[in-house]
Chain A
């Protein structure tokens, strides 16, 4: 392959200028003639029976165009991500603070508010079920009548855990707790619905999965999917919370009921109370090892508080269990995964799908183990780390695992790990400095056995410009840039000659959800395949015209090249010629992520097989009197396989670490009896610029052999995963106190064990 002109270069996102100058249109910016304001009436209770729901007054108000309840939904009254158990509009019982009972569309916001206020609802409050451990007890009151509160209970076993524990020199057992975490995307959930010329429904949706949205909207409307169209405008962040549907189905229902366009945008408070959160988990974890530090066994029981409905609890627990042993060689693994219904907030996808919770636990255990054995945290990780060819306990064989140890070594080198004791550890009487590391793995792709495919349509016009249609939603993570780069690279044209049509189900083939760090791989491959078809046509034509052998020709910087030297013919010339002579410069591709067939022993369901490895090292300063933790340095070494857009890769790493610092230290939805106490960004404390040190990042480019375009693999999820355990281990190092609960707030850091020495 010749040197890349575009791939691997820092590239501004198409539309970057529109975004930073405020011209880009997000859902709230969409203006249509006669646009109505839609609103949802949410439950004020965590659990209550609806005794009476009367919308007649609201319906008769002037300026009100539609008021709908469950009775007015033409089709299925449920979301459908995994299980259809969350109603769009509640029938008889609200089960969490975010359940919706009615929807209105009115001429303006004030009228919509008045209509909501005019809806008569009589609730009979019921005692809720808020403690997952209590909810699991036999005979516990059921959150959903007739359904076991334990919505999921799976045991996975590899090897013989009990025997390994019995033979071990050291056994470390701890219980960990993690919190509800909020994605805190910039743009709140939104949808704009309208009735199109043929009586179908079009919805602009701020989402991660436009084609799944289309399915959900169609089944709610009892319309064929062919009559429903979902368009993604610009999207201001999602982080998993927009993988599942939110208000876009209601926007479609309201537009249908009103026969007018309706916009439905959540406010921040509504947003924080209603969408899925990161699952809080209680994890009992046992690590067994030899006195030399070799891991023998891992045993874990993971209990996730799912809230009342299933959402993506299965997927989250699946990934949590899959990576529960960390990036280590350990043969004996037992993990019990339990999802429990409660009347707490609903939970689901959030960057990493259960892997951050798992990593907090396995990397904390690793440091506890190292301490117990008097070993260096780096040495024990290198001793146990996986490599290329390692067969995991899941049966998956790691095709490319160099980055596990390479990232550890590189990160250690960057912070001068072996010299860390020469750094001042007590810069003041009350301050303690510490260092901690964490190394993780996370898979990309949906997992073995799941339909993991993406299609694109690519067309070159007579002037050499290209339109690329893809169903992959770009929420800001940059898939549009990556796809445009790959097309431009292969066709020898500039980025400005490629126009990517943002996902629109009427134009774009299904690319599946933008989740699980998969789009750059799957849609990336689809772009390469389609571009190669057009490239092939152009080069074949050029060979015919120039009488030069086809294999000496290439396309670069807008020109045909011969043996790498520019030829007088341009891509434009070739495109025009193709048009005149009737060669089709049009290609469609549908790419499936192919799982290797030569691994007969894969025992873990839906296992991922391309891995993101990374190591982060934190240097923290702990104020022993206030408990405040300052992250002074953060080293991050990540493997991207091959960077297509370095700016995008570094951006993902920076953003992930920022979220990881919040997850580690301050972010927590405080939920009392099902009621969220801090549904605002005033009191849900995400880190700001001053809370994040200048990050020291290094990206390894170790080409991925398995189904990765030009060797590139996903990078979106891994950056958030090691941050919390790295900080935890650094705090442990600083103050000699291991923490087992997230977030590690100042109040949890206190009291500091040797505080006596700083007292006055």
Chain B
């Protein structure tokens, strides 16, 4: 049971992205980016990672939030507290700050970053469902250039992603949502703060002029090895008119798509049950909001 003391690696805070990428190129997985450190330090303590060098990107201005005509760009080092302070995000992507509000407590929210929450690749990461529901894409940079991919395609398994050892996550991009779109975040934990999600999710619905569902996102965490979309349930909703009955049926479908496990936080059967309950609640709340925000009230 004994926990060995953590070895303290070398630390560097390069002045340019090229310098940082250069170190990554040279040392690969031996070099780890440290953002807020709120996941990394624990992994190092538990010897899951033993990097020989920590790269701090704080000098690279990766903590910007920039709104353009068609998208919002968030630097990988944007902290959760910054998300909560941004009026643009609150207005355009409210499910993301909703996730931040139920995330840990103020000290962790001050340190923890969006990039860290993504790269850590925990199936329970709270900000990944809202980001995926908003069709986020991410930018991975290496000294060979950069690639942009859908966040959904990033995750491979618990703690595993498609990121190469020489890559750094630099940016998260959210396309602006259609006017008649709304989203809801729900987190279920064993206590009201500082909880690891038993189930977390974000639903997003858009409707067309004739009130038919034109877009549906049902993104779930903690119920599969990676954050997942309940694709069959989403497809089932497309082109249909919203009704309570319809949303109930979609929730049942979502339940059939997830593959949770039992662990110390919840049993498999509880998680299954909760997926149905919470997807239904989230969809109903999303529908409520769509009705509330519609021009005709």
Contacts and interface: CB of A to CB of B under 8 A. Distances in A.
Interface of A: 39, 41-44, 97, 109-110, 113, 116-117, 267, 269-270, 273, 625-628, 666, 670, 677-679, 682-683, 685, 687-691, 745-747, 750, 760
Nearest to A108: B5
Contacts of A745: 190
Interface in B183-230: 188, 190-196
Given A688-B193, A760-B244, A670 B264 contact: yes
A626 B277 CA distance: 7
Given A688-B105, A691-B191, 8 more contacts: A41-B2, A273-B1, A626-B274, A626-B277, A688-B191, A745-B190, A750-B270, A760-B280
Contact of A117 (B4, B105, B248, B267): B4
Contacts of B274: 626
B265 interface: yes
The 6 closest A-B CB pairs, nearest first, are A690-B192, A109-B5, A113-B4, A685-B190, A625-B277, A678-B264
Given A683-B265, A747-B266, A760-B280, A116 B2 contact: yes
Nearest to B277: A625
B273 interface: yes
B68 interface: no
Nearest to B46: A269
Nearest to A112: B5
Contacts of A690: 191-193
Contact of B273 (A267, A273, A688, A750): A750
Interface string B236-276: 00000000110010000000000000001111001001100
B70 interface: no
Contacts of B5: 109-110, 113
5 contacts: A683-B196, A688-B192, A688-B193, A745-B190, A750-B273
Contacts of B2: 39, 41-42, 113, 116, 270
A223 B293 CA distance: 80
Contacts of B273: 750
Which bucket holds chain B's interface residue count?
Answer: 20 to 34
Contacts of A39: 2
Nearest to A759: B248
B3 A270 contact: yes
Contacts of A746: 190, 270
Contacts of A666: 190-191
B194 to A, nearest CB: 5
Given A270-B3, A626-B277, A688 B194 contact: yes
Interface of B: 1-5, 7, 105, 188, 190-196, 244-245, 248, 264-267, 270, 273-274, 277-278, 280
B71 to A, nearest CB: 35
A698 to B, nearest CB: 26
A232 to B, nearest CB: 27
B54 to A, nearest CB: 18
Given A42-B2, A273-B1, A626-B188, A689 B193 contact: yes
Given A690-B191, A760-B280, A747 B1 contact: no
A625 B192 CA distance: 17
A41 B5 CA distance: 14
Contacts of B265: 683
A273 to B, nearest CB: 6
Nearest to A41: B2
B3 A691 contact: no
A43 B2 CA distance: 9
B7 to A, nearest CB: 8
A216 to B, nearest CB: 24
B199 to A, nearest CB: 9
A324 B196 CA distance: 37
Contact of B1 (A42, A670, A677): A42
Nearest to B5: A109
Of A109, A666, A670, A688, the most chain B CB neighbours within 10 A belong to A688
A760 B270 contact: no
Contact of B248 (A678, A688, A760): A760
Given A270-B2, A625-B277, A760-B248, A747 B193 contact: no
Contacts of B1: 42-44, 97, 269-270, 273, 679
Nearest to B273: A750
A687 B3 contact: no
A39 B2 CA distance: 9
Given A626-B274, A750-B273, A685 B191 contact: yes
A760 B245 CA distance: 8
A625 B251 CA distance: 14
Nearest to A39: B2
Contacts of A269: 1, 3
Contacts of B244: 760
B122 to A, nearest CB: 12
B264 A683 contact: yes
B198 to A, nearest CB: 8
Contacts of A685: 190-191, 195
Contacts of A625: 277
A267 B244 CA distance: 51
Contacts of A42: 1-2
Of B190, B193, B248, B273, the most chain A CB neighbours within 10 A belong to B190
